[in-house]
Protein backbone atom coordinates (compact mmCIF):
# COMPACT_ATOMS: atom_id res chain seq x y z
CA UNK A 1 0.00 0.00 0.00
CA UNK A 2 1.29 3.49 -0.83
CA UNK A 3 2.61 5.68 1.98
CA UNK A 4 0.38 8.57 0.86
CA UNK A 5 -2.75 6.42 1.08
CA UNK A 6 -1.78 5.22 4.56
CA UNK A 7 -1.04 8.80 5.62
CA UNK A 8 -4.50 10.02 4.60
CA UNK A 9 -6.37 6.95 5.83
CA UNK A 10 -4.73 7.22 9.24
CA UNK A 11 -5.72 10.83 9.96
CA UNK A 12 -7.67 11.19 13.19
CA UNK A 13 -8.40 14.04 15.62
CA UNK A 14 -10.35 13.22 18.77
CA UNK A 15 -11.76 15.36 21.56
CA UNK A 16 -11.89 18.70 19.76
CA UNK A 17 -13.78 21.11 22.04
CA UNK A 18 -16.40 23.62 20.90
CA UNK A 19 -19.22 25.65 22.41
CA UNK A 20 -22.19 27.50 20.94
CA UNK A 21 -25.25 29.39 22.12
CA UNK A 22 -28.56 30.69 20.87
CA UNK A 23 -26.82 33.47 18.91
CA UNK A 24 -25.06 30.94 16.67
CA UNK A 25 -28.25 28.90 16.33
CA UNK A 26 -30.27 31.91 15.17
CA UNK A 27 -27.52 33.22 12.91
CA UNK A 28 -27.39 29.89 11.07
CA UNK A 29 -31.18 29.82 10.64
CA UNK A 30 -31.13 33.37 9.30
CA UNK A 31 -28.15 32.49 7.11
CA UNK A 32 -30.14 29.82 5.28
CA UNK A 33 -33.03 32.24 4.78
CA UNK A 34 -35.45 31.57 7.63
CA UNK A 35 -37.19 34.66 8.98
CA UNK A 36 -37.48 36.54 5.68
CA UNK A 37 -41.15 37.09 6.54
CA UNK A 38 -41.12 38.71 10.01
CA UNK A 39 -44.75 37.62 10.57
CA UNK A 40 -44.25 33.92 9.82
CA UNK A 41 -44.48 32.29 13.26
CA UNK A 42 -43.23 28.93 11.96
CA UNK A 43 -39.95 30.46 10.81
CA UNK A 44 -39.66 32.94 13.67
CA UNK A 45 -39.41 29.98 16.05
CA UNK A 46 -35.90 29.38 14.63
CA UNK A 47 -34.65 32.98 14.62
CA UNK A 48 -36.31 34.79 17.55
CA UNK A 49 -36.04 33.99 21.25
CA UNK A 50 -37.43 37.37 22.38
CA UNK A 51 -41.15 36.61 22.59
CA UNK A 52 -43.88 38.13 24.76
CA UNK A 53 -45.26 34.65 25.41
CA UNK A 54 -42.26 32.40 26.13
CA UNK A 55 -41.67 29.45 23.80
CA UNK A 56 -38.66 27.24 23.12
CA UNK A 57 -36.25 28.36 20.40
CA UNK A 58 -35.93 25.68 17.69
CA UNK A 59 -32.64 24.52 16.18
CA UNK A 60 -32.42 23.75 12.44
CA UNK A 61 -31.11 20.15 12.22
CA UNK A 62 -28.35 21.03 9.76
CA UNK A 63 -26.94 23.54 12.26
CA UNK A 64 -24.87 20.46 13.09
CA UNK A 65 -22.79 21.29 10.00
CA UNK A 66 -21.43 24.47 11.63
CA UNK A 67 -21.72 23.67 15.36
CA UNK A 68 -18.07 22.56 15.38
CA UNK A 69 -16.83 24.62 12.44
CA UNK A 70 -13.15 23.98 11.76
CA UNK A 71 -13.09 20.47 13.17
CA UNK A 72 -11.56 17.76 11.02
CA UNK A 73 -9.24 14.75 10.98
CA UNK A 74 -6.10 16.80 10.36
CA UNK A 75 -4.01 18.42 7.62
CA UNK A 76 -4.36 16.52 4.34
CA UNK A 77 -1.79 18.56 2.36
CA UNK A 78 -3.99 18.84 -0.72
CA UNK A 79 -3.94 21.39 -3.53
CA UNK A 80 -6.59 23.60 -1.91
CA UNK A 81 -7.36 25.54 -5.08
CA UNK A 82 -8.52 22.31 -6.70
CA UNK A 83 -10.59 20.96 -3.77
CA UNK A 84 -14.40 21.01 -3.98
CA UNK A 85 -17.13 19.75 -1.67
CA UNK A 86 -18.74 16.59 -2.99
CA UNK A 87 -21.37 15.38 -0.55
CA UNK A 88 -22.75 15.77 2.98
CA UNK A 89 -24.55 13.09 4.97
CA UNK A 90 -25.65 13.95 8.50
CA UNK A 91 -27.25 11.42 10.84
CA UNK A 92 -29.08 13.00 13.79
CA UNK A 93 -28.95 10.93 16.98
CA UNK A 94 -30.96 13.40 19.04
CA UNK A 95 -32.23 16.98 18.65
CA UNK A 96 -29.52 19.61 19.01
CA UNK A 97 -29.81 21.77 22.15
CA UNK A 98 -30.04 25.55 21.87
CA UNK A 99 -26.70 25.91 23.67
CA UNK A 100 -24.03 23.33 24.42
CA UNK A 101 -20.43 22.47 25.09
CA UNK A 102 -19.57 19.73 22.62
CA UNK A 103 -16.67 17.59 21.47
CA UNK A 104 -15.90 16.54 17.90
CA UNK A 105 -14.16 13.29 16.99
CA UNK A 106 -12.96 13.30 13.36
CA UNK A 107 -11.40 10.55 11.25
CA UNK A 108 -10.88 9.62 7.61
CA UNK A 109 -13.20 6.82 6.49
CA UNK A 110 -11.82 6.04 3.04
CA UNK A 111 -9.66 7.37 0.22
CA UNK A 112 -10.76 6.78 -3.38
CA UNK A 113 -7.78 7.36 -5.68
CA UNK A 114 -9.12 7.88 -9.20
CA UNK A 115 -5.67 7.87 -10.79
CA UNK A 116 -3.11 10.37 -12.05
CA UNK A 117 -4.71 13.63 -13.26
CA UNK A 118 -8.14 12.31 -12.20
CA UNK A 119 -8.11 13.35 -8.57
CA UNK A 120 -8.92 11.67 -5.29
CA UNK A 121 -12.10 11.57 -3.18
CA UNK A 122 -11.60 11.58 0.58
CA UNK A 123 -14.49 10.58 2.82
CA UNK A 124 -14.23 11.61 6.47
CA UNK A 125 -16.58 11.75 9.42
CA UNK A 126 -17.03 13.91 12.50
CA UNK A 127 -19.05 12.72 15.48
CA UNK A 128 -20.47 15.46 17.70
CA UNK A 129 -21.03 14.57 21.36
CA UNK A 130 -22.49 16.41 24.33
CA UNK A 131 -20.85 16.79 27.73
CA UNK A 132 -22.16 13.37 28.80
CA UNK A 133 -20.42 11.76 25.82
CA UNK A 134 -23.73 11.04 24.08
CA UNK A 135 -23.80 11.32 20.30
CA UNK A 136 -25.65 14.32 18.88
CA UNK A 137 -24.87 13.94 15.18
CA UNK A 138 -22.54 12.11 12.82
CA UNK A 139 -21.36 14.12 9.82
CA UNK A 140 -19.88 12.38 6.79
CA UNK A 141 -18.26 14.62 4.17
CA UNK A 142 -16.69 13.80 0.82
CA UNK A 143 -14.16 16.19 -0.68
CA UNK A 144 -12.93 15.85 -4.24
CA UNK A 145 -9.29 16.89 -4.61
CA UNK A 146 -8.99 17.37 -8.36
CA UNK A 147 -5.28 18.23 -8.19
CA UNK A 148 -4.25 15.09 -6.31
CA UNK A 149 -4.45 11.34 -6.91
CA UNK A 150 -2.38 8.77 -8.72
CA UNK A 151 -0.35 7.85 -5.65
CA UNK A 152 -1.11 4.14 -5.79
CA UNK A 153 -4.07 3.77 -3.47
CA UNK A 154 -6.33 0.71 -3.68
CA UNK A 155 -8.78 0.47 -6.56
CA UNK A 156 -11.99 1.14 -4.65
CA UNK A 157 -15.44 2.12 -5.93
CA UNK A 158 -17.50 4.76 -4.14
CA UNK A 159 -20.93 3.67 -2.86
CA UNK A 160 -23.83 4.39 -5.22
CA UNK A 161 -25.74 7.58 -4.36
CA UNK A 162 -29.38 7.61 -3.30
CA UNK A 163 -31.64 6.99 -6.30
CA UNK A 164 -34.32 9.55 -7.06
CA UNK A 165 -37.76 8.12 -7.97
CA UNK A 166 -38.58 8.07 -11.67
CA UNK A 167 -42.12 9.42 -11.20
CA UNK A 168 -43.09 13.09 -11.26
CA UNK A 169 -42.31 14.97 -8.02
CA UNK A 170 -44.95 14.85 -5.29
CA UNK A 171 -44.20 18.49 -4.42
CA UNK A 172 -42.25 21.34 -6.01
CA UNK A 173 -41.38 24.48 -4.07
CA UNK A 174 -39.43 27.66 -4.80
CA UNK A 175 -37.08 29.14 -2.19
CA UNK A 176 -35.73 32.61 -2.93
CA UNK A 177 -32.21 33.36 -1.72
CA UNK A 178 -31.23 36.92 -0.80
CA UNK A 179 -28.58 38.87 -2.76
CA UNK A 180 -26.62 39.29 0.49
CA UNK A 181 -27.14 35.76 1.77
CA UNK A 182 -23.53 34.59 1.38
CA UNK A 183 -22.35 37.62 3.39
CA UNK A 184 -24.56 36.49 6.27
CA UNK A 185 -23.89 32.76 5.98
CA UNK A 186 -20.10 33.23 6.02
CA UNK A 187 -20.42 34.49 9.60
CA UNK A 188 -21.32 30.91 10.57
CA UNK A 189 -17.69 29.93 9.94
CA UNK A 190 -16.75 29.62 6.27
CA UNK A 191 -14.87 32.84 5.46
CA UNK A 192 -13.67 31.64 2.03
CA UNK A 193 -13.44 34.86 -0.08
CA UNK A 194 -14.99 32.96 -2.99
CA UNK A 195 -18.31 33.81 -1.32
CA UNK A 196 -17.64 37.47 -0.53
CA UNK A 197 -14.92 39.01 -2.72
CA UNK A 198 -15.84 39.79 -6.36
CA UNK A 199 -12.18 39.89 -7.45
CA UNK A 200 -11.41 36.52 -5.88
CA UNK A 201 -14.54 35.02 -7.46
CA UNK A 202 -13.51 36.27 -10.92
CA UNK A 203 -10.03 34.77 -10.52
CA UNK A 204 -11.71 31.47 -9.62
CA UNK A 205 -13.71 31.59 -12.85
CA UNK A 206 -17.05 32.96 -11.61
CA UNK A 207 -18.67 36.27 -12.63
CA UNK A 208 -19.45 37.06 -8.98
CA UNK A 209 -19.27 35.44 -5.54
CA UNK A 210 -21.18 32.18 -5.18
CA UNK A 211 -23.33 30.90 -2.35
CA UNK A 212 -21.71 28.37 -0.04
CA UNK A 213 -22.57 24.80 -0.97
CA UNK A 214 -23.35 24.16 2.68
CA UNK A 215 -25.79 27.08 2.63
CA UNK A 216 -27.58 25.41 -0.27
CA UNK A 217 -27.50 22.20 1.78
CA UNK A 218 -29.20 24.07 4.63
CA UNK A 219 -31.76 25.49 2.20
CA UNK A 220 -32.75 21.94 1.21
CA UNK A 221 -33.19 21.09 4.90
CA UNK A 222 -35.41 24.15 5.18
CA UNK A 223 -37.41 22.87 2.20
CA UNK A 224 -38.13 19.56 3.91
CA UNK A 225 -38.88 21.35 7.20
CA UNK A 226 -41.62 23.46 5.60
CA UNK A 227 -43.20 20.65 3.62
CA UNK A 228 -43.12 17.14 5.05
CA UNK A 229 -41.69 17.83 8.54
CA UNK A 230 -44.22 20.51 9.56
CA UNK A 231 -41.33 22.58 11.02
CA UNK A 232 -40.55 19.80 13.53
CA UNK A 233 -36.75 19.76 13.80
CA UNK A 234 -36.84 16.68 16.06
CA UNK A 235 -38.32 14.61 13.20
CA UNK A 236 -35.04 14.54 11.24
CA UNK A 237 -33.01 11.33 11.35
CA UNK A 238 -30.76 11.89 8.30
CA UNK A 239 -30.15 14.51 5.61
CA UNK A 240 -27.99 13.70 2.56
CA UNK A 241 -27.15 15.71 -0.56
CA UNK A 242 -24.61 15.81 -3.40
CA UNK A 243 -23.38 19.15 -4.71
CA UNK A 244 -23.46 19.48 -8.50
CA UNK A 245 -23.39 23.23 -9.29
CA UNK A 246 -23.20 26.50 -7.34
CA UNK A 247 -26.01 28.93 -6.59
CA UNK A 248 -25.50 32.66 -6.98
CA UNK A 249 -26.96 34.73 -4.11
CA UNK A 250 -30.33 36.16 -5.10
CA UNK A 251 -31.32 33.20 -7.27
CA UNK A 252 -34.44 31.12 -6.73
CA UNK A 253 -33.82 27.51 -5.78
CA UNK A 254 -36.51 25.12 -6.98
CA UNK A 255 -36.82 21.88 -5.01
CA UNK A 256 -38.52 18.76 -6.33
CA UNK A 257 -39.55 16.39 -3.53
CA UNK A 258 -40.78 12.78 -3.47
CA UNK A 259 -42.26 11.12 -0.35
CA UNK A 260 -42.03 7.37 0.19
CA UNK A 261 -42.96 6.56 3.76
CA UNK A 262 -40.47 8.27 6.06
CA UNK A 263 -38.00 8.86 3.22
CA UNK A 264 -38.07 12.16 1.35
CA UNK A 265 -36.05 12.26 -1.87
CA UNK A 266 -35.17 15.62 -3.38
CA UNK A 267 -33.23 17.47 -6.03
CA UNK A 268 -32.74 21.22 -6.43
CA UNK A 269 -32.17 23.39 -9.47
CA UNK A 270 -31.92 27.00 -10.59
CA UNK A 271 -34.42 27.21 -13.44
CA UNK A 272 -33.23 30.59 -14.68
CA UNK A 273 -29.88 29.04 -15.65
CA UNK A 274 -31.14 25.53 -16.35
CA UNK A 275 -28.76 23.91 -13.84
CA UNK A 276 -29.21 21.27 -11.15
CA UNK A 277 -27.43 22.35 -7.97
CA UNK A 278 -28.24 19.42 -5.65
CA UNK A 279 -28.57 15.78 -6.71
CA UNK A 280 -29.44 12.48 -5.02
CA UNK A 281 -30.92 14.17 -1.95
CA UNK A 282 -32.47 12.12 0.85
CA UNK A 283 -34.06 12.98 4.18
CA UNK A 284 -35.22 10.32 6.62
CA UNK A 285 -37.90 11.44 9.06
CA UNK A 286 -39.04 9.56 12.12
Provide the pLDDT for residue 1.
Answer: 60
Mean per-residue pLDDT, 165-191: 98
Q: Which of 195, 212, 239, 256 is catalytic?
A: 195
Provide the pLDDT for residue 284.
Answer: 98
- pTM beyond 0.75, yes or no: yes
Mean per-residue pLDDT, 30-39: 96
Rounded-to-integer distance, Cα 119 and Cα 159, Å: 17
| 239 is known as an active-site residue | no
The alpha-helical segments, DSSP class H, found in the chain are 3-9, 22-31, 41-47, 64-67, 181-185, 198-203, 213-226
Query: Which of 47-51, 146-150, 230-234, 260-264 is least confident?
Result: 146-150
∠267-270-276 over CA atoms, to 5°? 45
109, 123 Cβ separation under 8 angstroms: yes
Please name the helix (run of DSSP H) or strand (run of DSSP E) that holds residue 172, with its range, or none: strand 171-176
| 162 is known as an active-site residue | no
Q: Which of 105, 148, 190, 256 is catalytic?
A: 190
**pLDDT tens by residue, 206-262:** 999 999 999 999 999 999 999 999 999 999 999 999 999 999 999 999 999 999 999
Provide the pLDDT for residue 221.
Answer: 98
Largest CA distance in the chain: 63
Amino acid sequence: MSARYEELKGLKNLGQKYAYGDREVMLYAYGIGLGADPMDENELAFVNEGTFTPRPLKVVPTFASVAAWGSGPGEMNLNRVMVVDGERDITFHQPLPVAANITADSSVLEVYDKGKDKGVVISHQTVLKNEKGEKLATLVASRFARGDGGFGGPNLTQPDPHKIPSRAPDKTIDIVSRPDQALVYRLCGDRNPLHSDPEFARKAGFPRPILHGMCTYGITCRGVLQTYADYDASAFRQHVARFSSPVFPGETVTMDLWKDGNTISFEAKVKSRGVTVIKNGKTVLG
